[in-house]
C-alpha cells in the first residue's frame, strides 16, 4: 500500500481559484515551491521562524571556487533536511557556470519519502 503525500499548503499562495477557494500547490509542485523558499530565505527573515532558510545570500560576493561551492552544498543539504521533511536528499551539486564566472548552478537530487522516483531541482545563482 502506498503512503499518501501529505497535503501541505505552500507559500506563496496562488490566489483565489474559480470556486472562490485559496489555491496552492500540491504534491511535487508544493515540494519544489518549499525547496525554492528554503533556498532563497535568509535566516532571521521570518518573524515566527527566525532559524528558517538556507541563507544563500551569505555567499554573495564570495569567490566562485571549490571551497565556496562545497560550503554552499553543505548549507543547502542541512537546511533541506531540517525544513523539508517530505523528501530525502540524495545529492546537492553546486557547479560553476561555464560561461559566466560569477554564476553557479545548484542541482538538488532527491526523492519523496513516500516514493522512490528520483527528482531534481535546479537553480542558478549569481555570486556577483
Domain spans of the chain, in order of start:
15-126
Inform me whether the pLDDT recorded for 35 exceeds 90.
yes
Inform me whether the pLDDT recorded for 9 exceeds 60.
no
**CB 36, CB 25: distance < 8 Å:** no
CATH 3.90.1150.10 fits 15-126, yes or no: no
pLDDT at 6: 55
pLDDT at 18: 77
* Alpha-carbon distances, residue 44 vs 13, 34, 49, 105 (angstroms): 21, 17, 7, 25
pTM for the model stands at 0.80
pLDDT tens, position by position, 65-113 = 999 999 999 999 999 999 999 899 999 999 999 999 999 999 999 998 8
Residue bearing cell 533541506: 80
Amino acid at each position: 500500500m502506498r503512503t499518501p503525500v501529505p497535503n501541505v499548503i505552500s507559500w506563496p499562495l496562488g490566489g483565489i481559484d474559480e470556486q472562490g477557494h485559496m489555491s496552492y500547490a500540491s504534491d511535487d509542485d508544493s515540494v519544489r515551491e518549499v525547496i525554492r523558499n528554503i533556498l532563497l530565505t535568509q535566516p532571521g527573515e521570518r518573524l515566527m521562524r527566525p532559524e528558517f532558510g538556507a541563507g544563500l545570500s551569505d555567499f554573495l560576493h564570495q569567490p566562485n571556487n571549490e571551497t565556496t561551492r562545497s560550503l554552499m552544498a553543505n548549507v543547502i543539504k542541512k537546511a533541506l533536511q531540517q525544513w523539508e521533511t517530505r523528501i530525502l536528499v540524495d545529492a546537492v551539486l553546486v557547479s560553476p557556470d561555464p560561461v559566466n564566472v560569477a554564476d553557479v548552478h545548484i542541482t538538488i537530487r532527491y526523492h519523496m519519502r513516500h516514493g522512490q522516483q528520483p527528482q531534481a531541482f535546479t537553480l542558478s545563482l549569481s555570486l556577483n
